[in-house]
């Protein structure tokens, strides 16, 4: 639904958004006190998380939303600027306006 592949369903969207916020909150809470997911240097776990988050930071997490996830945003910003990440994924821009599904009504 994030990319408009599914028809907008308000109930499904709200459930999905709530679960996404729970997952992001869990990672954020951990990363507030830790620089990396495992140990003291980047691992494949950090790369996997950053890769998973690319779409959310591009389309779903605007500046206001990113302020709620300070630890996660710091981790993501660090990872996306690593040479190996940029070589594989490319440059990543953060979301300015949240991409809403077609038919989305507040």
pLDDT greater at residue 14 or residue 74: 74
95 pLDDT band, cuts 50/70/90, is confident
Token pair of 48 as six digits? 């996997």
pLDDT in tens, 34-76: 999 999 999 999 999 999 999 899 988 889 989 999 999 999 9
CATH numbers and ranges of domains, the chain: 10-89 (1.20.1050.10)
pLDDT at 106: 61
């Amino acid at each position: 639904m994030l990319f408009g592949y599914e028809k907008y369903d308000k109930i499904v969207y709200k459930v999905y958004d709530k679960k996404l916020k729970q997952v992001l909150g869990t990672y954020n809470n951990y990363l507030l006190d830790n620089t990396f997911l495992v140990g003291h240097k980047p691992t494949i776990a950090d790369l996997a998380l950053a890769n998973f988050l690319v779409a959310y930071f591009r389309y779903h997490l605007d500046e206001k939303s990113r302020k709620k996830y300070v630890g996660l945003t710091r981790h993501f910003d660090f990872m996306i600027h690593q040479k190996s990440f940029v070589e594989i994924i490319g440059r990543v821009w953060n979301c300015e306006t949240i991409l809403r599904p077609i038919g989305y009504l507040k």
